[in-house]
Amino acid sequence: MKDMERHLKIHTGDKPHKCEVCGKCFSRKDKLKTHMRCHTGVKPYKCKTCDYAAADSSSLNKHLRIHSDERPFKCQICPYASRNSSQLTVHLRSHTGDAPFQCWLCSAKFKISSDLKRHMRVHSGEKPFKCEFCNVRCTMKGNLKSHIRIKHSGNNFKCPHCDFLGDSKSTLRKHSRLHQSEHPEKCPECSYSCSSKAALRVHERIHCTERPFKCNYCSFDTKQPSNLSKHMKKFHADMLKTEAPERKDTGRQSSRQVTKLDAKKTFHCDICEASFMREDSLRSHKRQHSEYHDSKNSDVTVVQLHLDASKQPAAPLTVGHLQVPLQSSQVSQFSEGRVKIIVGHQVPQTNTIVQAAAAAVNIVPPTLVAQTPEELPGNGRLQILRQVSLIAPPQPSGCPGEAGTLSQPTVLLTTHEQAAGATLQQTLIPTTPAGTQEGTGNQTFIASSGITCSDFEGLNALIQEGTAEVTVVSDGGQSIAVATTAPPIFSSQQELPKQTYSIIHGAAHPALLCPADSIPD
DNA sequence: CGCCCCCTGCTGGCTTTAATCTCAACTG
DNA sequence: CAGTTGAGATTAAAGCCAGCAGGGGGCG
Ligand SMILES: [Zn+2]
Ligand SMILES: [Zn+2]
Ligand SMILES: [Zn+2]
Ligand SMILES: [Zn+2]
Ligand SMILES: [Zn+2]
């Protein structure tokens, strides 16, 4: 009877027990009691084996199975057994092939919801995790962690940009700040500079007549580092005292070896008739085409603009204009490649009113779209210029910003064709005015040609999750310009591993590209 | 009432796997 | 010198699991 009354409260929605601290209401007093422990930190149920403690007995019981290795939930099909029922439920999906969480942008599907959620970041291009020692950014936190372990730990506290050698992680961290917004990698052949060695190597192919690898002991020089070392061994072996490689023979079979078994010459060059055993051989072959034709490989080019959140709070917004890439030696790359621009704002924590900015991309039909779409990844994301950009530039109400532009940030993205007689198309989308209570109510997205509805749905979802960066993906356009009235401070992130480009600011708004550190708080 | 048990949805972290990059060596 | 290849290193992304919070039912 008592139990029935208790049960009926589910249907009436009656929740008489209110938490004094957070205001949350509960239908049952005992639920309120355990809830209170999350405020008080009281955890009466302690594990005798380790220092785990729980606020309720079930959690402890569940935990205890770790120490006893008790796995009561056994799979009927295979030897798998789990410590709790939900894990078994998930496991059973691998027998049935059931994967209920389907990505709406590609064919990927997942057995658990969080994996899908995480997966969606690969579509957004969002890379929230930045290495504090170098310019690497990661989509996944764990990957950044292993990056730091591999690159910046052990006795490996060498600065990637100069000769500095720290004695600990913290000294390297301190030193790394000196390089922020710098372009320490300088091309010896021209005035080009950039922030990563990888980008410099790409650039150097432009100077294809050069032979940058010179022998220190004679006049020999070569284009290829391996040839220099060959030369060194042959003629200056006495100078090379170190090194004794001695490879270990692991039985590891690489995917490339598998490929080799499957078929001969699987990788065909789409420019000439050549075909290759290995994908990376094809890539290196294509570089030959690139050098002759002054057009590089078709890797996605990524330019990421990112706000420095720590500097943001009171920073005045500035009307600005950014143009992305566009050095003459680089432009041609876009004709074969794809461009991805990430514009990021981080919403300052102090600001509760978030005003949405919106953006749209207008598409100039790519002149050189890939002819064989089926070769592209199944999701087709590279074929259409699509999606989206930009978010929620914060508008602190009392901000002493630069003028009335503040109330209506706008974002303009344009693509324009380089060819003669090309048209310049652009779309300018004013955002909704500031001042609404709920940030989420404010977002405006305007579809323009080539942007499908689903893209915006995806964007919306991202935004509602608090994503701070969105992505513009484009194909085949020669250049993309980004202009925005929103951004306070950009620190450019050209150092992404593939090709990288300088961000050239419009002459009218040089302030935009000041190093973040130089802007007063 | 107050405790126990169980379930679900979600988060965050560690582990594993597969793809890709890079280097070095070798060849014609 | 371009093309190949082997193999280790690194990175990107998926797999998996413990924990937390909320919520429902059983029962002394
Ligand atoms: Zn509370
Ligand atoms: Zn324990
Ligand atoms: Zn099984
Ligand atoms: Zn997907
Ligand atoms: Zn790093």
Residue A71 has pLDDT above 60, yes or no: yes
What percentage of chain A carries pLDDT values higher than 90? Answer: 20
- Distance in Å, residue A280 CA to nucleotide B21 C1': 9
Higher-pLDDT residue of A172 and A37 is A37
Q: What is the pLDDT of residues A379-438, one digit of tens each?
A: 222 222 223 333 333 333 333 333 333 222 222 232 222 222 222 222 222 233 333 333
Name the residue closest to the C1' of C24 by its CA.
A7
Q: Which residues have a Cβ under 8 Å from the Cβ of A312 and sit 6 or more positions away?
A: A346, A348, A394, A488, A489
Matching CATH number, A1-70, of 3.40.50.720, 1.20.1290.10, 3.30.160.60, 3.40.50.2300: 3.30.160.60
Question: From the Cβ of A255, is strand C under 7 Å away?
Answer: no
* pLDDT of A14: 87
Q: Which nucleotides of C are covered by protein (CB under 7 A)?
A: 1-28
Residue A469 has pLDDT above 50, yes or no: no
* Mean pLDDT comparison of A85-99, A262-276, A281-295, A489-503, highest-scoring range: A85-99
* pLDDT of A353: 24
| pLDDT bracket for residue A91 (50, 70, 90) | very high
Higher-pLDDT residue of A368 and A395 is A395
Residue A57 has pLDDT above 70, yes or no: yes
Higher-pLDDT residue of A213 and A347 is A213
Instruction: Kindly identify the ligand whose nearest atom is closest to the C-alpha of A23.
Output: 1
* pLDDT of A325: 29
Taking the centre of ligand 4 as the mean of its atom positions, its distance from the CA of residue A181, in whole angstroms, is 33
Q: Tell me the two tokens of residue A503.
A: 């961000």
Taking the centre of ligand 3 as the mean of its atom positions, its distance from the CA of residue A95, in whole angstroms, is 6
Question: From the Cβ of A381, is strand C under 7 Å away?
Answer: no
Q: Which of residues 257-276 of A touch strand C (CB under 7 A)?
A: 257, 260, 274, 276
Q: Tell me the two tokens of residue A163.
A: 């000769």
* pLDDT of A102: 92
Residue A60 has pLDDT above 60, yes or no: yes
CA distance A236 to A218: 9
Residue A70 has pLDDT above 60, yes or no: yes
* pLDDT of A126: 83
Average pLDDT over residues A102-110: 92
Q: What is the mean pLDDT of chain A?
A: 53
Residue A292 has pLDDT above 90, yes or no: no
Residue A501 has pLDDT above 60, yes or no: no
Q: What is the 3-state secondary structure (H, E, C) of A47-69?
A: CCCCCCEECCHHHHHHHHHHHHC
What topology does CATH give the domain A181-239? Double Stranded RNA Binding Domain (3.30.160)
* pLDDT of A136: 87
* pLDDT of A113: 94
- Distance in Å, residue A130 CA to nucleotide C14 C1': 21
Average pLDDT over residues A480-487: 30
Q: Where are the beta strands (DSSP E) in A180-311?
A: 185-186, 193-194, 213-214, 221-222, 267-268, 275-276, 300-307
Q: For chain A, give every domain's residue range.
A: 1-70, 181-239
Average pLDDT over residues A149-178: 66
Q: Which of residues 53-92 of A touch strand B (CB under 7 A)?
A: 56-58, 61, 84-86, 89
Residue A231 has pLDDT above 60, yes or no: no
Instruction: Kindly identify the ligand whose nearest atom is closest to the C-alpha of A78.
Output: 3
- Residue-wise DSSP of A140-195: SHHHHHHHHHHHSSTT--B-SSSS-B-SSHHHHHHHHHHTTT---EE-SSSS-EES
Name the residue closest to the C1' of C4 by its CA.
A281
Q: Which nucleotides of B are covered by protein (CB under 7 A)?
A: 1-16, 18-26
* pLDDT of A477: 30
- Asked whether this chain's domains A1-70 and A181-239 adopt the same fold, the reply is yes
| pLDDT bracket for residue A150 (50, 70, 90) | confident
Amino acid at A417: E
Question: From the Cβ of A112, is strand B under 7 Å away?
Answer: yes
Average pLDDT over residues A66-82: 91
Residue A515 has pLDDT above 90, yes or no: no
CA distance A441 to A432: 10
| pLDDT bracket for residue A174 (50, 70, 90) | low
Average pLDDT over residues A346-366: 27
Q: What is the pLDDT of residues A132-148, one digit of tens each?
A: 888 888 999 999 999 99
Residue A278 has pLDDT above 80, yes or no: no
- Distance in Å, residue A227 CA to nucleotide B23 C1': 12
Average pLDDT over residues A294-317: 33
Its ipTM equals 0.90
Taking the centre of ligand 2 as the mean of its atom positions, its distance from the CA of residue A46, in whole angstroms, is 8
List the single range of A151-160, A181-190, A266-275, A416-425 with lowest mean pLDDT: A416-425
Higher-pLDDT residue of A233 and A152 is A152
Contact A416, A477 (CB under 8 A): yes
* Mean pLDDT comparison of A212-216, A386-390, A491-495, highest-scoring range: A212-216
Taking the centre of ligand 5 as the mean of its atom positions, its distance from the CA of residue A4, in whole angstroms, is 60
- Distance in Å, residue A96 CA to nucleotide C23 C1': 29
Average pLDDT over residues A481-504: 27
Q: Where are the beta strands (DSSP E) in A242-380?
A: 267-268, 275-276, 300-307, 320-324, 338-344
Nucleotide with minimal C1' distance from the CA of A83 is C17
Q: Which of residues 119-178 of A touch strand B (CB under 7 A)?
A: 141-142, 145-146
Q: Could you tell me how many residues make up chain A? A: 521
* pLDDT of A17: 92
* pLDDT of A64: 93
Question: From the Cβ of A229, is strand B under 7 Å away?
Answer: yes
* Mean pLDDT comparison of A86-100, A404-418, A475-489, highest-scoring range: A86-100
